[in-house]
């Protein structure tokens, strides 16, 4: 099969691409396209179809037409296709990494790491296909009572731009494994790796219509997908505001929703913490992918006794953090994803200067390309937990340092947030660390470590950080519904004592 999407790494271009609907590579019904931009340079690298409602209708119809056949395809066959796909991802990892880097701003070494890990997700979720099921239930009388775990049907997957392939795989792989068909709407900033992934889906041999991709903008393609009455499950990862809009559209046709939204994760440093480890985790926490991570540890609760020593080490470490082009081997942090993102983060840095004390950064890193969307790692100290830079999700490399000294007050402040995605505790006293883990109102806690996403562990948020869980066995609930079956084993309706003479 000829490859439709080609990457020229020297010219840093991809060319014109098409989207994948019902097993065919097509332009948007309107014929319109939009530009994919390399955030390292600000240059256009591809023209992408600008999908709209007509394209969504076509994709959902294709997915619906295949829903029953895919549901009744042997689970082992569905699993085998997912494993084949995992193998093709491994075989094409270098190209996928370049696409992910050029389109989303992940520096190449990181993109290679991310894509290198991806087959693990395919393998884990393939394993679910023939291992999860319903249960038998003990009821009174001579009956066989059991449940069947069945797919939802057509599922929609609205994906953000920060980890395009990881987030695509972590929701579509379990959906497919459990017998659902999929319509994907990648973020408008990052369509390219998803389209290459779709080529690999086709090459793996998935039947036409099982996996469909419509590219385009949120209000034009995402909203009609979420609103489509034939879509029975929606997985959305992105901002709280858009997540609420998607949930409202889903409510109109009572579709099940999984929402993975924002965060303002506390990084909590106790006075007995291993300082070098805690400093490194802090840097990873707010600088990974330039802070454009939903779990980003953007609120640093630092014990007053160690504040000076910690901040000195933090500044020294930040001086060594190389910010630059995705293709530079020394780069440890790339650009923000778009001009709009740069404007938003710059606005928050100005707010921070009014609310708190700027300790480090705040500007454009030296030596970065003029057209790229770069910002320095930025640290504010003397932040109050009620400040905007401590309460609002900035989605950039900006850290708010909040001093603490009383443990009860610390917990109150950590939980005083609309978000509840994730928290990190650095503390050698395991009793204290576990007490924090138990009382923090968040969906995930790391102790003496920084976040590493894995397919085996559930991921999701409390409060406005979301509903439902991705990954782990918990993800099964997001892509299945329960059917209850009861069988009368007496052979005759009236033979059972509970029916004879029963009132109508
Ligand atoms: P960001 O993370 O940049 O704030 P969003 O949360 O708005 O972005 O976007 C995440 C995903 O949701 C993207 O695929 C985007 O196109 C899509 N999206 C944006 N607006 C809507 C909408 N009104 N309805 C459905 N999807 C949307």
The span from the CA of 456 to the CA of 120, in Å, is: 10
Positions of CATH 3.40.605.10 in the chain: 6-261+465-484
Give the atom of ligand 1 at the shortest distance from the alpha carbon of 188.
Answer: 16
Q: Would you say 326 and 101 are in contact if contact means Cβ atoms under 8 Å apart?
A: yes
In the block, tokens 């968040």 appear at 442
> Atom 20 (ligand 1): residue with closest C-alpha?
218
Query: Ligand 1: distance of its center to the CA of 221 in Å?
Result: 10
Ligand 1 pocket test: pick from 39, 56, 160 the residue with the most ligand atoms within 8 Å of its Cβ.
160
Q: Would you say 295 and 162 are in contact if contact means Cβ atoms under 8 Å apart?
A: no
> Atom 13 (ligand 1): residue with closest C-alpha?
187
Give the atom of ligand 1 at the shortest distance from the alpha carbon of 249.
Answer: 24
Positions of CATH 3.40.309.10 in the chain: 266-447
> Atom 24 (ligand 1): residue with closest C-alpha?
223
Query: Ligand 1: distance of its center to the CA of 22 in Å?
Result: 24
Q: Which pTM value belongs to this model?
A: 0.96
Which residues are 360's β-sheet partners? 379
The span from the CA of 247 to the CA of 168, in Å, is: 19
Angle subtended by helix axes 192-204 and 93-104, to nearest 10: 160
Q: Would you say 253 and 229 are in contact if contact means Cβ atoms under 8 Å apart?
A: yes
Query: Ligand 1: distance of its center to the CA of 315 in Å?
Result: 35
> Atom 14 (ligand 1): residue with closest C-alpha?
187
Query: Ligand 1: distance of its center to the CA of 271 in Å?
Result: 40
CATH architecture of 6-261+465-484: 3-Layer(aba) Sandwich (3.40)
Give the atom of ligand 1 at the shortest distance from the alpha carbon of 158.
Answer: 14
Q: Would you say 301 and 404 are in contact if contact means Cβ atoms under 8 Å apart?
A: yes
> Atom 11 (ligand 1): residue with closest C-alpha?
160
Beta strands (DSSP E) in 127-173 are 136-137, 143-151, 154-158
- Classify 365 as helix, strand or coil: coil
> Atom 4 (ligand 1): residue with closest C-alpha?
239
The span from the CA of 83 to the CA of 288, in Å, is: 29
Active site residues: 260, 294
Q: Please give the helix or strand (H or E) that residue 344 lies within, else none.
A: helix 339-355
CA 410 to each of CA 267, 304, 385, 413, 457: distance values in angstroms, whole numbers, following the listed order: 11, 12, 10, 5, 27
For residue 179, is it left (φ>0), alpha (ψ between -120 and 50) or beta? left
The span from the CA of 390 to the CA of 227, in Å, is: 34
Q: Give the pairing of strands 211-213 and 143-151.
A: unpaired
The full DSSP string for 296-323 is ---EEEEEGGGHHHHHHHHHHHHHT--B
Which residues are 79's β-sheet partners? none
The span from the CA of 456 to the CA of 451, in Å, is: 14
* CA angle 489–492–495, rounded 5-degree value: 90
Ligand 1 pocket test: pick from 158, 223, 263 the residue with the most ligand atoms within 8 Å of its Cβ.
158
Query: Ligand 1: distance of its center to the CA of 238 in Å?
Result: 6
- Classify 191 as helix, strand or coil: coil
Which residues are 473's β-sheet partners? none
Query: Ligand 1: distance of its center to the CA of 243 in Å?
Result: 8
Name every residue whose Cβ is closer than 8 Å to that of residue 62 and which is 6 or more positions away in sequence: 21, 22, 23, 208, 209, 212
Mean pLDDT by 10 residues, the chain (504 residues): 77 92 98 95 95 98 98 98 98 96 93 97 97 95 96 98 97 98 98 97 98 98 98 98 98 98 97 98 96 96 98 97 92 94 97 98 91 95 98 97 97 98 98 98 96 93 97 97 95 64 65
Beta strands (DSSP E) in 39-84 are 43-49
User: Which pLDDT belongs to residue 219?
Assistant: 98
> Atom 18 (ligand 1): residue with closest C-alpha?
218
Protein residues with CB under 6 Å of any ligand 1 atom: 158-160, 185, 187-188, 217-219, 222-223, 226, 238-239, 242, 245-246
The span from the CA of 364 to the CA of 374, in Å, is: 6
The span from the CA of 94 to the CA of 133, in Å, is: 37
Query: Ligand 1: distance of its center to the CA of 476 in Å?
Result: 24
Query: Would you say domain 266-447 falls under CATH 1.10.357.10?
Result: no
> Atom 26 (ligand 1): residue with closest C-alpha?
222
Ligand 1 pocket test: pick from 49, 218, 260 the residue with the most ligand atoms within 8 Å of its Cβ.
218
Q: Would you say 265 and 298 are in contact if contact means Cβ atoms under 8 Å apart?
A: yes
Ligand 1 pocket test: pick from 238, 294, 373 the residue with the most ligand atoms within 8 Å of its Cβ.
238
Give the atom of ligand 1 at the shortest distance from the alpha carbon of 239.
Answer: 6
The span from the CA of 163 to the CA of 115, in Å, is: 10
Q: Give the pairing of strands 398-404 and 378-381.
A: parallel
Q: Would you say 419 and 295 are in contact if contact means Cβ atoms under 8 Å apart?
A: no
Query: Ligand 1: distance of its center to the CA of 282 in Å?
Result: 28
> Atom 15 (ligand 1): residue with closest C-alpha?
218
Query: Ligand 1: distance of its center to the CA of 187 in Å?
Result: 7
- Greatest CA span in the chain, whole angstroms? 88
In the block, tokens 């997912």 appear at 82
The span from the CA of 203 to the CA of 19, in Å, is: 15
Q: Please give the helix or strand (H or E) that residue 21 lies within, else none.
A: strand 19-21
């Amino acid at each position: 099969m000829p490859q439709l999407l080609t990457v020229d790494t020297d010219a840093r271009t991809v060319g014109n691409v098409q989207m994948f609907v019902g097993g065919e590579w097509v332009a948007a019904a309107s014929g319109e396209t939009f530009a994919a931009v390399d955030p390292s340079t600000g240059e256009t690298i591809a023209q992408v179809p600008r999908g709209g409602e007509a394209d969504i209708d076509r994709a959902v119809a294709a997915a619906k037409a295949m829903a029953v056949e895919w549901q009744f395809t042997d689970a082992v066959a569905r699993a085998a296709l997912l494993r084949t796909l995992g193998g093709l991802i491994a075989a094409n990892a270098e190209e996928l990494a370049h696409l992910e880097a050029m389109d989303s701003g992940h520096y190449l070494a990181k993109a290679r790491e991310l894509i290198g890990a991806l087959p693990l997700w395919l393998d884990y979720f393939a394993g679910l296909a023939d291992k999860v099921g319903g249960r038998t239930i003990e009821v009174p009388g001579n009956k066989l009572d059991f449940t069947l775990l069945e797919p939802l049907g057509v599922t929609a997957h609205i994906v953000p731009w920060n980890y395009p392939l990881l987030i695509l795989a972590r929701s579509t792989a379990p959906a497919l494994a459990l017998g659902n068909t999929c319509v994907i709407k990648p973020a408008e900033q990052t369509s390219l790796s998803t389209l290459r992934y779709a080529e690999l889906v086709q090459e793996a041999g998935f039947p036409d219509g099982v996996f469909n991709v419509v590219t385009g903008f949120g209000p034009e393609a995402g909203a009609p997908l979420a609103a489509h009455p034939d879509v029975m499950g929606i997985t959305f990862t992105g901002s709280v505001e858009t997540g609420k809009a998607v949930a409202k559209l889903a409510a109109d046709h009572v579709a099940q929703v999984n929402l993975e939204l924002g965060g303002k994760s506390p990084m909590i440093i106790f006075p007995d913490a291993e300082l070098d480890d805690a400093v490194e985790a802090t840097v990873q926490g707010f600088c990974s992918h330039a802070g454009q991570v939903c779990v980003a540890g953007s609120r640093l609760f630092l014990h007053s006794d160690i504040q000076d020593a910690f901040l000195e080490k933090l500044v020294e470490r930040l001086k060594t953090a190389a910010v630059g082009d995705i293709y530079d081997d020394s780069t440890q942090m790339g650009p923000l994803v778009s001009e709009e993102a740069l404007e938003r983060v710059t606005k928050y840095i100005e707010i921070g200067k009014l609310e708190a004390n700027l300790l480090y950064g705040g500007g454009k890193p030296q030596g970065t390309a003029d057209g790229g969307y770069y910002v320095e790692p930025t640290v504010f100290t003397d932040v109050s937990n009620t400040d905007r830079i401590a309460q609002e999700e900035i989605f950039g490399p900006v850290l708010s340092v909040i001093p603490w000294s009383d443990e009860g007050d610390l917990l109150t402040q950590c939980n005083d947030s609309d978000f509840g995605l994730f928290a990190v505790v650095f503390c050698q006293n395991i009793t204290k660390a576990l007490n924090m883990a138990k009382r923090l109102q968040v969906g995930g806690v790391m102790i003496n470590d920084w976040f590493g996403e894995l397919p085996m562990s559930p991921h999701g948020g409390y409060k406005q950080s979301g509903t439902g869980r991705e990954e782990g066995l918990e993800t099964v609930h997001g892509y299945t519904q329960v059917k209850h079956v009861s069988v009368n084993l007496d052979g005759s309706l009236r033979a059972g004592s509970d029916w004879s003479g029963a009132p109508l």
